[in-house]
Amino acid sequence: MANITLYELPGCPYCAKVTDKLEDLDVDYDTVEVPGDHSERTEVEEVSGQTGVPVIVDEANGVEGMPESDDIVEYLEENYGDGASA
Q: pLDDT at position 3, please?
A: 87
Q: pLDDT at position 78, please?
A: 95
Q: pLDDT at position 83, please?
A: 65
User: Per residue in 8-29, pLDDT tens?
Assistant: 999 999 999 999 999 999 999 9
Please name the helix (run of DSSP H) or strand (run of DSSP E) that holds residue 76, with its range, or none: helix 69-80
> Could you read off the pLDDT tens digit of each residue along the chain, which spans 86 residues?
678 999 999 999 999 999 999 999 999 999 999 999 999 999 999 999 999 999 999 999 999 999 999 999 999 999 999 866 55
Q: The pTM is what?
A: 0.92
Rounded CA-CA distance 5/33 in Å is 10
Q: pLDDT at position 23, please?
A: 97
